[in-house]
């Protein structure tokens, strides 16, 4: 059975330069009912003020995906990678044995709005790694486009977990179905707009989740951008 969690039920932190909604327990927000969903451990919806960002800090044993909705996010890490990601880009950093990085909004005027997603890896102690791919809006229009997978299928970024992440854009009569294998979990996060998930109306920041659902239907989108997770 599909369960829902509304945007207003999420944790929230306002640090002035950073405004962040937490779908699961994170930092100062702790809710034992929402510690994650399978290996999906973090979905933070972050808004970073112009000229501000996250200073250099470390991670270990986590698959970290950044998905920009508006603005730009500059990334530098201890592996020597440096880039600016924009809407349409999907960035994956495998922390493994340890990596340090910073993220910054260099714009003088525009807020950076992005999703920070953490997925627990299936194996610990791997070598750190970095990857970035671009997925144009046309490739996500009216469908669920695979953007992260364990085997780089369909040009997706590679994550070290038996999980698949899809992104889609839906409006009007556009619809999509995600088939889910028996015993697996599915989690849908609405990044913007509104959409029906198995007939339940969800708005930006809302989520729906189920175990052993078999399939989910996305219909009735109104300027909707959606991330869907197929999880063990």
Question: What is the Cα–Cα distance from 51 to 36, expressed in whole angstroms?
Answer: 31
Q: Name the pLDDT band for 228 (thresholds 50, 70, 90).
A: very high
pTM for the model stands at: 0.97
pLDDT of 1 reads 80
Written as six digits, the tokens of 159 are: 């994550």
Give the C-alpha separation, 128 to 115, whole Å.
21
Q: Phi, psi at residue 151, to the nearest 5°?
A: -130, 20
Q: How many CA atoms lie within 13 A of 151 on its CB side?
A: 3
Q: What percentage of the chain has pLDDT greater than the value 70?
A: 100
CB 156 within 8 A of CB 122: no
Residue 196 belongs to what H/E stretch?
Answer: strand 185-197
Average of per-residue pLDDT values in the chain: 97
What's the number of CA atoms in the CB half-sphere (13 Å) around residue 94? Answer: 21
DSSP 8-state symbol, 133: E
CA distances to 13, 84, 142, 149, 211 from 98, rounded to whole Å, are 26, 22, 38, 22, 32
β-pairing, 145-149 with 157-158? parallel
Is the per-residue pLDDT at 129 higher than 90? yes
The enclosing H or E element of 12 equals: strand 11-14
Q: Residue 128: its pLDDT value, please?
A: 97
Give residue-wise pLDDT tens across range 60-94. 999 999 999 999 999 999 999 899 999 999 999 99
Residue 46 has pLDDT above 90, yes or no: yes
State the distance between the two ends of the chain, measured CA to CA, in whole angstroms: 17
Report how far residue 99's alpha carbon sits from residue 228's, in angstroms, rounded to the nearest whole number: 27
- pLDDT value at residue 179: 97
Residue 145 has pLDDT above 90, yes or no: yes
Q: What is the pLDDT of residue 168?
A: 98
Q: Residue 42: is its pLDDT beyond 90?
A: yes
Catalogue all structural domains in the chain, each as residue range(s) with its CATH number.
Answer: 3-231 (2.60.120.10)
Say which range, 77-81, 184-188, 200-204, 225-229, has the weakest mean pLDDT: 77-81
pLDDT digits (tens, 9 = 90+) for 86-121: 999 999 999 999 999 999 999 999 999 999 999 999
Alpha-carbon distance values, 132 to 64, 140, 181 (Å): 12, 17, 28
Q: Is the pLDDT of residue 40 over 90?
A: yes
In this structure, the number of other CB atoms found within 10 A of the CB of residue 206 comes to: 21
Residue 38 is predicted with a pLDDT of 98
Cβ contact 3:210 at 8 Å: yes
The predicted model gives 155-171 an average pLDDT of 98
């Amino acid at each position: 059975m599909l369960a829902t969690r509304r945007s207003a039920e999420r944790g929230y932190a306002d640090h002035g330069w950073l405004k962040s909604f937490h779908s699961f327990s994170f930092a100062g927000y702790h809710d034992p009912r929402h510690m994650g969903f399978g290996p999906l451990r973090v979905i933070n919806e972050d808004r970073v003020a112009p000229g501000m960002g996250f200073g250099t800090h470390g991670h270990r044993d986590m698959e970290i995906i950044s998905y920009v909705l508006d603005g730009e996010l500059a990334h530098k890490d201890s592996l020597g990678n440096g880039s600016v990601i924009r809407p349409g880009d999907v960035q994956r950093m495998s922390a493994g044995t340890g990596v340090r990085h910073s993220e910054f909004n260099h714009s003088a005027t525009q807020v950076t709005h992005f999703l920070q997603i953490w997925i627990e890896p299936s194996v610990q102690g791997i070598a750190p790694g970095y990857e970035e791919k671009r997925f144009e809006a046309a490739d996500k229009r009216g469908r669920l486009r695979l953007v992260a997978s364990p085997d780089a299928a369909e040009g997706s970024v590679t994550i070290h977990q038996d999980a698949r992440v899809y992104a889609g854009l839906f409006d009007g009569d556009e619809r999509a179905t995600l088939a889910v294998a028996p015993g697996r979990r599915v989690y849908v996060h609405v990044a913007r707009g509104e959409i029906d998930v198995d007939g339940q109306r969800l708005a930006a920041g809302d989520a729906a989740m189920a175990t052993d659902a078999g399939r989910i239907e996305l219909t009735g989108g109104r300027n909707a951008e959606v991330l869907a997770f197929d999880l063990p």
